[in-house]
Structure 1
Amino acid sequence: MNLTPLLLVLTLHGVVCDERGARVRRIVGGDAAVAPPEDDPVVFTRFAGKTARVLGVRDLPHYVFRGIRYGHAPAGKERFLRPRQYFLQGFENATRFPPPCVQPVPGQDKVIGDEDCLFLNVFTPTLPTGLEGLPVIVWIHGGGYRYGSASQYGVRHLVGKQVVVVTIQYRLGSLGFLSTGSKTLPGNAALWDMVLAVQWTRNYIGFFGGNPHKIVVMGHGTGASSAIMVALSNVAKGLASGIVAMSGSSLSRFATDDAPKNTAMQVAEANGCPVVSELTMVKCLQNLSPDSIIKVDSSIESQRIDNRGFISGLAGKLGSAPVFEGRRDGRSLPPVAENEPLNDPDSAHSRIPLLTGITKDETKRACQGQYKDEIVKKLRGVPDFLDKVLVKNLQDSLGLQRNNNTSSGRLLSLLDPKQFKNYLEYSKSNIHEGLGKISEATGDALFNVPAFLTADAWSKQNAPSYLYRFEHVGKKKKGYNFLKGLPIIGNSTQSDDSNDTVAHGDELAYLFDAQDFQGRSLGSNEDSNEEDDKVRDIFTQMVTDFARFGKLSLGNEEVKPFSITDNNFVQVGPKPKVSNGFRFCEMGLWLGLAQRLQSSSCKLFKVLDSQLKNLPTGVLKPGGLGGNKIGDALGKVGKPGAVDKKKVQEKLSPVSNSLGMLNPNRDKPKSSQKVLPFGIGR
């Protein structure tokens, strides 16, 4: 029997031609496919010629895909090198949180974690619907480059605002940041981890319901400084649509290590590795157990705090950290951090929105907690400790100076520390008041100044920047739960002597639920508080609105971006509001802004006119040249209505580069470049 005619009929029956002439396959008869069960979410991916079936879990009210690998294990000969990209393929079980990266246990001579730790978690309110997808937040945890994991942060409050959240892990301590400042050991391996994780998000997040073209990179503390460096890196050009930097900036003291070789030599010598040849040293370190390297990191951190005092515990620079690698020489793969982003005119392509901010009392709990005894001893035993010692040390710690040989220059001369007398004045019999003055000074110098300058630098790039100050005290003081072990936090619960403190990390509880490394809730004995819930709703809405629109709104009114005339910022609390003149007089003191200090609102500080007249021609030394323009122009910053904005901008234009702030009149950047493949020629 000839079956050819019958087969032809059957074939044509399943395929018809529409009016346009294209052949379209139709479903004939039968029932619709059964929808996948809600409690057993599966995502199918296809990228780089590889397909995968990714199994997640339903964690009401959203979906979670845990422990997805984005990079191969950076162990053995791969240690200290750039990560190799992993492509999803076959069956991927994403139902368990990953092990954390290798790190010390705070307060114990113990190390936990695994070198094979390049994983991330994806949290999404909905699986793909065929639409453009939801905004995406990539979260880079803080922890002084030494502590933390992707699974510590419960994101249900953010995801509930209809965004996709990706929490990532990266190598910690010397395993992630060790550098000699040379081509043999350039460092920044962990920054490459972060870039690769963001690249993974661009490649795959569409399969999980996210929009690959609307990715905000967000972090806290060292995670915030890393977020800026990663988002503005030339190798990540075009990947981020916005940045959220909480209590940190690439200008922060803790952001980078300006003497990486010293740290590398200490790590090697303590582990018995030869240091005469860098290549031999690296090979030796690659053969050690990761625990021995991390334990030496802890020893170095303790020694530096003992030798340098409490300011180093607050300011950082206690171990391996990112380094600026300088311009690409054309003979090797490009660096991830060529120059400091805010000091690099070629990063003008970074005209993407920024949301940055600080807490009201960043250092107060540490000053009145783990460092209280040391500070009280110095207040009582060191003559004129506040102005002759503290201010001078903090001036040296300001995050503007990076390299005396660069065009960004360094601080040329600031106010004489004696001029801080009225700013720091307190009753000598009131030690508590003295502790408060120290927390105010350290908070200004180490956190407020970098935040202020970062927002100001952004505004000069014609990019919207928004500055906030988190001021709500509440009952959810969870900084310790998220950042345990970080010197500014301490190893045990510390209490200050007042109930109005909002210290480093306290705002995290209003975005995240505190969890352990396995993603289990740490629980809470706190009383239910309606104001706390309200602030959480306000703060999460701020962040997710920024991720969605690249701007902020309070109520039905849009918040204006930070400006050089108003220095406007959002005060976050139960009744958020926009205020002007962020730390107007205090920023004038720390940055030597003469015209601010001469204004009537700053007369309380009683800075001598003779001192102001003797200020150098600029706060910074612009490539070895002088000029009055920084004091003239920046002196008017934050003084509403005091000056014509256009004239101030004209004055700032030739000065901006000396501050490391981009000139808005520069030519537009060239078109985006593709990210180079990872792991090739590393």
Structure 2
Amino acid sequence: MVLWGLVLLGIFITVKGDERGARVRRIVGGDPAIAPPEDDPVVFTRFNGKSARVLGVRDLPHYVFRGVRYGHPPVGKERFLRPRQYFLEGFENATHFPSPCVQPVPGQNTVLGKEDCLFLNIFTPTLPTGTEGLPVIVWIHGGGFRYGSASQYGVRHLVGKQVVVVTIQYRLGSLGFLSTGTKTLPGNAALWDMVLAVQWTRNYIGFFGGNPHRIVVMGHGSGASSAIMVALSNVAKGLTSGIVAMSGSSLSRFAVDDAPKSTAVEVADANGCPTGSELTMVRCLQNLSPASIIKVDSSIETERMTKQGFLSGLAGKLGSAPVFEGRRDGRSLPPVSEKEPLNDPDSSHSKIPLLTGITKDETKRACQNQFKDEIIKNLKKIPDFLDKVVVKNLQSALGIEFNKNTSAGNLLGLLDTNQFKNYLSYQKDNLVQGLGKISEATSDALFNVPALLTADAWSKQDAPSFLYRFEHAGKLGKGSNFLKGLPLIGNTSQNDASDGTVSHGDELAYLFESQDMEGRSIQSDSGNPDDDRVREFFTQMVTDFARFGKVRLGDQDVKPFSINDNNFIEVSPKPKVSRDFRYCEMGLWLGLAQRLQTNTCKLFQVLDATPLGTLGSGTQKLGQTIGKVGGDSKKLLPSLGIGR
């Protein structure tokens, strides 16, 4: 009788509904529940002892759950601290995109967004069907750690490939990354936001049709470097099954702040906060309006660019960014980023697949637009500007130093800047050629070298890595549709592709539809058949990787990256696998003697005046010979075999 009463009670329980009326909730163990109507997606969750009813919307052809909270508000005394996980409970209205995190309005002395911004959006082609669920992509937006939102990126084309996509928000600027490198202000609060969002996804995504054991973390630019640091962090161990890093890695110049305390003191001074006591400084900063902190970030960025020049705008590092925390932060808490993850060859959790790549002209549009006048002025005014200034500063940005206590082996070490003359030669009265050479050099040093080193580091960890180069200059939106405000992008829309340029962010339009910060469409697709072919291949490549951990071309699996082949995927209307990724250019920047001795690289004539008596036989590894890569806090440990 009691059991029968419980059954009757379960049948007649109704859940409070919206304007479309109540829906019946059946108890576990009864008849199968009726599938939710297509225009009324409701998901019931139960985790950590809490139950929730989550109402989303139908955005044909998929379901969307917008503005789902994953972290408690990081405001007041919780500003700068690690986030606290939010567990779904009661009725959750997920029908509206969230406000973005506080950030500057490009080109204006104002800000937008809210400090209470730890939300994510879930896009799924189907609600749970009783199977293991679909692969999941967690998207970490780029924007130089200062710009962007979870709602800017329309994912219709990705979701159409039968994957679940989760787009996340994290604290930006000094609100997310301010650090003194001490226990008082250890930093990396935003990296903890990302880790928490991935953990939240692991806990809940099964209720939304995703497979919690098949989660790929994916990002662009600063989002790519963050994706690698998050996925390989000890605190996120086992949460991810792969990484997609677009135009960025943890070896990128912009990935970390090597001098976080000076940035923190600048932020405090400009806001009138005392700096003698770190605790007093932090408490003062916690009582300021978020807008005042973000506006100071903009002032610091402008001041640093004015002082350091256009290379700082291309390379980043103009404000607060992630830091390497060391083994402990002084509070007996584990770090999210103890050290450069690629330096740990014994880290078994790094044996997950990686798909990484760049565009063919990462910095070209910036060199020919917002930095054009400054570059031309320097080309006219400074003798040997390219090799004496640009190359020297880029070598410093790479952070490569030759360990003179080690046999030279296959390395010349850090080449003298004079050795770059043939690589950078142009007619002195042709400033357009000069601009092109600067864009080539900066793209190689700031993007291609980190991509190559990262792909190779993975291959040395017995984990498959795949390298691509996006080469299609189509008619779809450019990087400015997604990354406006980033110094590398500028504040104006630049959609002209008539010169064949494919710069930073231009590939995003082939995965995502561009939207404003709150999810409203800002551009309709107006591509051509070639654009359609590239989008079809690019989305398929990414979703195949999410599903299988590998890449296919036609009906064949693509061979993982090998330093012997330098193999990479050309993303174009007719995609193909090519070899010798920037073979001689990478040899020049990294001082790889064996490459530079080949007939292939004879054009550069680098070794003509260089003693070759101690060059060795080709068995030594770059990682054993280079002193350090990527600045004071980074080392290239995964040995880059020389090959060939």
TM-score (norm: length of structure 1): 0.85
Structure 1 residues 329 and 63: CA distance shift in structure 2, 3 A: closer
Superposed displacement of residue 477, structure 1: 3.6
Deviates more, 1:186-195 or 1:488-497: 488-497
* SS at 2:563 equivalent: coil
Aligned to 1:661: 637
Q: Distance in 2 between matches of 1:523 and 1:25?
A: 45
Instruction: Find out whether 1:250 has 2:250 as its counterpart.
Output: yes
Aligned to 2:127: 127
Q: Do the aligned partners of 1:345 and 1:657 also contact (CA within 8 Å) in 2?
A: no
Q: Distance in 2 between matches of 1:595 and 1:653?
A: 15
Q: Distance in 2 between matches of 1:307 and 1:329?
A: 33
Aligned runs of 1:81-120 on 2, under 5 Å?
81-120=81-120
Aligned to 1:379: 379
Identity among equivalent pairs (%): 77
Superposed displacement of residue 611, structure 1: 2.9
Aligned runs of 1:40-51 on 2, under 5 Å?
40-51=40-51
Superposed displacement of residue 656, structure 1: 9.5
Superposed displacement of residue 517, structure 1: 1.4
Q: Do the aligned partners of 1:348 and 1:662 also contact (CA within 8 Å) in 2?
A: no
Structure 1 residues 348 and 654: CA distance shift in structure 2, 3 A: farther
Read off the aligned partner of 2:542 and give its amino acid letter: V
Q: Distance in 2 between matches of 1:652 and 1:264?
A: 36
Q: Distance in 2 between matches of 1:495 and 1:9?
A: 67
How large is the RMSD of aligned CA atoms in angstroms? 2.6
Structure 1 residues 33 and 274: CA distance shift in structure 2, 3 A: closer
For each residue in 1:150-199, what CA deviation from the matched residue of structure 2 results, as whole angstroms up to 9, or x when unmatched?
00000000000000000000000000000001111000000000000000
Read off the aligned partner of 1:513 and give its amino acid letter: E
Structure 1 residues 103 and 25: CA distance shift in structure 2, 3 A: closer
Read off the aligned partner of 2:468 and give its amino acid letter: Y
Aligned to 1:191: 191
Q: Distance in 2 between matches of 1:510 and 1:230?
A: 25
For each residue in 1:461-510, what CA deviation from the matched residue of structure 2 results, as whole angstroms up to 9, or x when unmatched?
00000000000011114210100000000011247795210000000000
Superposed displacement of residue 347, structure 1: 2.9
Q: Do the aligned partners of 1:144 and 1:222 also contact (CA within 8 Å) in 2?
A: yes
Q: Do the aligned partners of 1:215 and 1:547 also contact (CA within 8 Å) in 2?
A: yes
Aligned to 1:569: 568
Instruction: Find out whether 1:581 has 2:580 as its counterpart.
Output: yes
Instruction: Find out whether 1:275 has 2:266 as its counterpart.
Output: no
Aligned to 1:594: 593
Q: Do the aligned partners of 1:344 and 1:660 also contact (CA within 8 Å) in 2?
A: no
TM-score (norm: length of structure 2): 0.90
For each residue in 1:569-594, what CA deviation from the matched residue of structure 2 results, as whole angstroms up to 9, or x when unmatched?
00000110001111000000000001
Structure 1 residues 181 and 484: CA distance shift in structure 2, 3 A: same
* SS at 2:422 equivalent: helix
Aligned to 1:625: none
Aligned runs of 1:253-402 on 2, under 5 Å?
253-328=253-328, 332-398=332-398
* SS at 2:487 equivalent: coil
* SS at 1:345 equivalent: coil
Q: Distance in 1 between matches of 2:442 and 2:370?
A: 15
Structure 1 residues 557 and 79: CA distance shift in structure 2, 3 A: same
Read off the aligned partner of 2:596 and give its amino acid letter: L
Structure 1 residues 9 and 169: CA distance shift in structure 2, 3 A: closer
Q: Which runs of 5+ in 1 are unaligned?
A: 1-6, 15-23, 402-410, 618-627, 634-647, 665-682
Superposed displacement of residue 661, structure 1: 3.2
Number of aligned residues: 609
Aligned to 1:668: none
* SS at 1:581 equivalent: coil
Aligned runs of 1:541-556 on 2, under 5 Å?
541-556=540-555
Read off the aligned partner of 2:518 and give its amino acid letter: Q
Deviates more, 1:341-350 or 1:285-294: 341-350
Structure 1 residues 327 and 34: CA distance shift in structure 2, 3 A: closer
Q: Distance in 2 between matches of 1:497 and 1:552?
A: 28
Read off the aligned partner of 2:242 and give its amino acid letter: G
Aligned to 1:460: 460
Larger Rg: 1
For each residue in 1:6-56, what CA deviation from the matched residue of structure 2 results, as whole angstroms up to 9, or x when unmatched?
x59979999xxxxxxxxx9986xxx98643211010000000000000000
For each residue in 1:300-351, what CA deviation from the matched residue of structure 2 results, as whole angstroms up to 9, or x when unmatched?
0000100000000000000000000112378611010000111233434210
Read off the aligned partner of 1:180 and give its amino acid letter: T
For each residue in 1:236-290, what CA deviation from the matched residue of structure 2 results, as whole angstroms up to 9, or x when unmatched?
0000100000000000000000000010000000000000100100000000000
Q: Distance in 2 between matches of 1:32 and 1:352?
A: 38
Read off the aligned partner of 2:312 and give its amino acid letter: S
Aligned to 2:238: 238
Instruction: Find out whether 1:507 has 2:507 as its counterpart.
Output: yes
Structure 1 residues 128 and 9: CA distance shift in structure 2, 3 A: closer
Q: Distance in 1 between matches of 2:277 and 2:152?
A: 40
Structure 1 residues 602 and 114: CA distance shift in structure 2, 3 A: same
Structure 1 residues 494 and 369: CA distance shift in structure 2, 3 A: farther
Superposed displacement of residue 567, structure 1: 1.0
Structure 1 residues 281 and 93: CA distance shift in structure 2, 3 A: same
Structure 1 residues 532 and 9: CA distance shift in structure 2, 3 A: closer
Q: Which runs of 5+ in 2 are unaligned?
A: 9-26, 402-410, 629-634
Aligned to 1:521: 521
Q: Do the aligned partners of 2:621 and 2:639 also contact (CA within 8 Å) in 1?
A: no
Aligned to 2:14: none
Superposed displacement of residue 297, structure 1: 0.1
Q: Distance in 2 between matches of 1:330 and 1:241?
A: 31
* SS at 2:423 equivalent: helix
Aligned to 2:23: none
Q: Do the aligned partners of 2:412 and 2:592 also contact (CA within 8 Å) in 1?
A: no
Aligned to 1:144: 144
Superposed displacement of residue 610, structure 1: 3.7
Read off the aligned partner of 2:388 and give its amino acid letter: K
Q: Distance in 2 between matches of 1:469 and 1:208?
A: 33
* SS at 2:297 equivalent: helix
Aligned to 1:678: none
Superposed displacement of residue 399, structure 1: 5.5
* SS at 2:507 equivalent: helix
Q: Do the aligned partners of 2:412 and 2:591 also contact (CA within 8 Å) in 1?
A: no
